[in-house]
């Protein structure tokens, strides 16, 4: 079976920026073991596997090289970029995830708009061993999101955030049930409201270049804190990326773009391997 594949830089309008994701367009289901192997072969933080269910309805699953991921923003917008390119008559797409999310995406000429749910957070302690290994001095707040299994930590300075240099060898040795740690701060840049970085060596790569799915709780957090409905978010990773986010009732709206870098085929999967 041949699988049409794409490599897409998400949350950017420039090649070699944003967050790269692989997108695989399936004509029939592939087993989980193969999806993990394909994701491992690509080596990106996530690969998306999409199969059409109706005229504008597609199922989508996300895999890191290690495990299946419940929800991934950059692989979602990358998949939408591919589908809007492959199906130019479509202006709207519905994605149905393996974990029960229904995601609406709209093609708005120079931007793709994603409609995500709003997820809640609750107060949490930030373990000292994680704090030390990441290199954080002081925190303003720590909260936990169960939907993504992520600890969110707010710190005072976006400059400190940018300068963080975690000891990933130590982090990987820490026994923790969480999937990752998201560190965020109010932005010092005039064009942005808040900044963030995401470290997840226990379930993906050391650091995710640009993370969109976390906006399902991060958008509400900063919206309430800054008393703004529409905000500009900047991920100050090495590759960098940005997006506009909006809290609209029980929905999180994410607006950004993506660039297709490569189109190709996987042609070695046999019927037995599926």
Q: Which residues are catalytic?
A: 46
Q: Closest Cα to residue 19, out of 267, 208, 228?
A: 208
Residue 104: half-sphere exposure toward Cβ, Cα within 13 Å: 8
CA-to-CA distance for 125 and 152, rounded, in angstroms? Answer: 10
**Beta-carbon contacts of residue 1 (< 8 Å; ≥ 6 apart):** 27, 28, 269, 270, 271, 274
> For residue 227, what are the CA distances in angstroms to 2, 119, 157, 249?
50, 18, 19, 14
Closest C-alpha among 71, 61, 74, 76 to residue 26: 61
State CA 172 to chain mean position distance.
21
CA distance 231 to 28: 39
With CA atoms as reference, report the closest residue to 114 among 248, 226, 262, 267.
248
Contacts of 168 (CB under 8 A, 6+ apart): 199, 201, 206
With CA atoms as reference, report the closest residue to 234 among 165, 164, 162, 166. Answer: 162
Q: Report d(CA 102, CA 119) in Å as an integer.
A: 14
């Amino acid at each position: 079976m041949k699988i049409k594949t794409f490599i897409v830089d998400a949350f950017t309008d420039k090649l070699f920026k944003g967050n790269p994701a692989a997108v695989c367009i399936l004509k029939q289901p592939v087993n989980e073991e193969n999806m993990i192997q394909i994701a491992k072969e690509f080596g990106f933080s996530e690969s998306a596997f999409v199969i059409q269910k109706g005229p504008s309805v597609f199922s989508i699953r996300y895999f890191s090289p290690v495990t299946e991921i419940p929800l991934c923003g950059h692989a979602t917008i990358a998949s939408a970029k591919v589908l809007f390119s492959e199906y130019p008559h479509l202006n709207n797409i519905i994605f149905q995830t393996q974990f029960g999310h229904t995601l609406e995406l709209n093609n708005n000429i120079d931007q793709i708009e994603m409609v995500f749910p709003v997820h809640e957070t609750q107060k949490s302690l930030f373990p000292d061993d994680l704090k030390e290994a990441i290199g954080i001095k002081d925190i303003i707040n720590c909260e936990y999101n169960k939907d993504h299994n992520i600890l969110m930590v707010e710190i005072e300075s976006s400059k400190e955030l940018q300068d963080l240099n975690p000891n990933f060898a130590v982090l990987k040795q820490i026994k923790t049930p969480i999937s990752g740690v998201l560190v965020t701060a109010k932005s010092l840049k005039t064009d942005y409201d808040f900044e963030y970085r995401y470290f997840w060596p226990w379930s993906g790569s050391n650091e995710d270049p640009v993370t969109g799915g976390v906006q399902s709780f991060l958008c509400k957090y900063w919206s309430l804190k800054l008393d703004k409905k529409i905000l500009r978010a900047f991920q100050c990773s090495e590759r960098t990326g940005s997006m506009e986010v909006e809290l609209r009732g029980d929905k999180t709206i994410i607006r950004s773009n993506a660039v297709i870098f490569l189109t190709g085929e996987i042609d070695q999967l046999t019927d037995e391997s599926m």
